[in-house]
Structures are given as structure tokens and as C-alpha cells.
Amino acid sequence: MRKLALLAGGTALLLAGVGWAVRDASSAVQTSAAGCDSLTAPTLAAGDTARLRGPRQPIFFRHDIHAGQYKIQCQYCHYSVAVATEPGIPSMQTCMGCHLVIGGADSASKAEIRKLREASAQQQPIEWVRIHYLARHAHFPHMVHIKALGPTACATCHGDVTRMPQVFKVNNVNNMGWCIDCHLERTVSRDCSVCHY
């Protein structure tokens, strides 16, 4: 009998342990955003991308240069983030707007920009590898969050891309508890039907 009691108690503890572990994991991911001081050396060959975190993109587009070095506002390219639910992926036109004239400093970047120009010449859209993918039963209206947190709030979820040569996932955006934490902090609605419908 005692054995059984012990067993039962043990299982309960185990369950609880697992649960909290999962929770902590989620918040842990969140904090590790700061810890992403991966190499920001200005010169990086496309070949090096394999060493960088995050998936390899068809073109080695460097947020650390565009957003970091040149301080281009996020919304210059992600044009609809402040007005629509979708952030908006820049059209080829937008890229070419600058890269008609800007051909790149070093050979590595020249090569990448050539890729872009060729694609644009052939009217072939570039299929970027998607990094942040919100499960489709959750709705995340970007514009309201920008409205509430300001135009530079992107980093809250996407991490500091100004320091990422190649963008990688900093937070698991499908981690509901993580959304809730933020909503709790700011005492905004925690009603399920705000996101799930």
C-alpha cells in the first residue's frame, strides 16, 4: 500500500516538474535574445553563412548591414506592418529601388546583389525561407502591436535583427505562454477570442 502511495505521489511530482520545465524553457528562449551577439564582422562570404545561425536564404541578405549599419527603418521594407495584420515582404521593386545604383562594396556582396538583379531582370520572385511562422489558428495583428509598442518594437518578438547577419528564430512565436506573459505585464486582454477565431 505504501509503495502505491509513493508511486502516486512520485507521478504527480514528475508531471508538475515536466510542466514547469516546459514553462521555463519558453522564458529561457526569450532571454537568449540578448545572447545572440554572433559575428558582426562587415565582410562575410556567402559561403560562411553555413556557420551562421538561422536558415540559409537564397540571397545572403544582411539585416545587420541594412538595418544595423545603415539604420534603415524596418518599415521602409516591411511597409504594411503599421497598418495591416501582415508585416509585408518587400517587393523586388523595393530592393531594386536602391540596388539599381548600389552594386555592393566587396566581391561577396557584389555576388549577392547580382543574384538579385538577375532575378529581377527575369521577373522571378525570390522565395525567402520563412523564419517566423505563427500557427494558423492564432491571429497576430502586427499593426496594433506596433501602435501600442512603437515602431521599434519589432525586436520584442523578432530579436535584434540589426545584429544578425543571417536572421534566425529568437523566440518561438507559437509559445502561447510567452504571448500571455507580455499581455499580463501590460495588463491587456487575455481573452482567448482576441487571437483565436
Query: Would you tell me which residues interact with other proteins (CB under 8 A)?
Result: 1, 4, 8, 15-16, 18-20, 22-23, 25-26, 55, 79-80, 83-86, 88-94, 120, 123, 125-130, 133-139, 141-144, 147, 174-178, 180, 189-194, 196-197
Helix axes 92-99, 107-121, angle to 10 degrees: 130
The cell for 89 is 515582404
> CB of residue 74 vs other proteins: minimum separation in angstroms?
15
> CB of residue 82 vs other proteins: minimum separation in angstroms?
8
- In sequence order, the 6+-apart residues with CB closer than 8 A to the CB of 132 are 157, 158, 169, 173
Comparison of 105 and 180: residue with beta carbon closer to other proteins: 180
Comparison of 79 and 168: residue with beta carbon closer to other proteins: 79
> CB of residue 196 vs other proteins: minimum separation in angstroms?
5
Comparison of 69 and 174: residue with beta carbon closer to other proteins: 174
Q: Please identify which residue in the block is written with the cell numbers 510567452.
A: 178
146 burial (CB, 10 Å; 0-12 / 13-18 / 19+) is buried
**Which of 194, 195, 181, 155 minimizes the C-alpha distance to 68?**
155
Comparison of 79 and 104: residue with beta carbon closer to other proteins: 79
